[in-house]
Amino acid sequence: MEDIEKKIIEIRRKIHQYPELGNEEYRTAKLIEQTLKQSGIVTKRLSKTGVVGLLNGKRKITNGERCIAFRADIDALPLEEKTHKLYTSKVRGKMHACGHDGNTAIVLGAALILAEGKNIFSGKVKFIFQPNEESSGGAEELIKAGVLDNPKVNAIVGIHVNSHLPSGKIGVRYGEMFAAVDRFSLKIIGEGGHGAAPHEGKDAITIASQIVQALQNIVSRQIDPLEPVVITVGTIKGGERFNILAQEVEMTGTVRTLNEKIHLQIPKLMKKTIKSICSSWGVKYKFNYEIIGYPLTNSEKLVEFCEEVAKKTLGEKNVQRIDKPSMGGEDFAEYARYAPGCLLYLGTNSGKATAYTWHHPKFDLDEKALFVGAKLLSVIALDYLR
Ligand SMILES: [Zn+2]
Ligand SMILES: [Zn+2]
| Catalytic status, residue 87 | no
Per-residue model confidence as pLDDT tens digits over 239-263: 999 999 999 999 999 999 999 899 9
82 CA to centre of ligand 2 in angstroms: 18
Per-residue model confidence as pLDDT tens digits over 338-362: 999 999 999 999 999 999 999 999 9
Annotated active-site residue in 25, 133, 307, 367? 367
The angle at the Cα of 278, spanning 276 to 283, to the nearest 5 degrees, equals: 145
Q: How far apart are CA 91 and CA 100, in angstroms?
A: 16
Containing H/E element for 27? helix 26-38
Per-residue model confidence as pLDDT tens digits over 50-60: 999 999 999 88
Report pLDDT for 136: 79
Mean pLDDT in residue range 136-160: 96
Per-residue model confidence as pLDDT tens digits over 76-113: 999 999 999 999 999 999 999 999 999 999 999 999 99
Report pLDDT for 305: 98
Please name each of the domains of the chain with its CATH number: 2-178+295-385 (3.40.630.10), 180-293 (3.30.70.360)
Task: Answer whether residue 284 shows pLDDT above 70.
Answer: yes
228 CA to centre of ligand 2 in angstroms: 22
147 CA to centre of ligand 2 in angstroms: 20
160 CA to centre of ligand 1 in angstroms: 10
Pick from 373, 366, 367, 363: nearest CA to 89: 363
Q: How far apart are CA 19 and CA 221, in angstroms?
A: 45
Task: Answer whether residue 63 shows pLDDT above 80.
Answer: no
Percent of the chain having pLDDT more than 90? 96
146 CA to centre of ligand 2 in angstroms: 23
Strands 170-172 and 319-321 turn out to be parallel
Task: Answer whether residue 61 shows pLDDT above 90.
Answer: no
Q: How far apart are CA 127 and CA 142, in angstroms?
A: 12
| Catalytic status, residue 367 | yes
**Ligand showing the shortest atom-to-Cα distance for residue 332:** 2
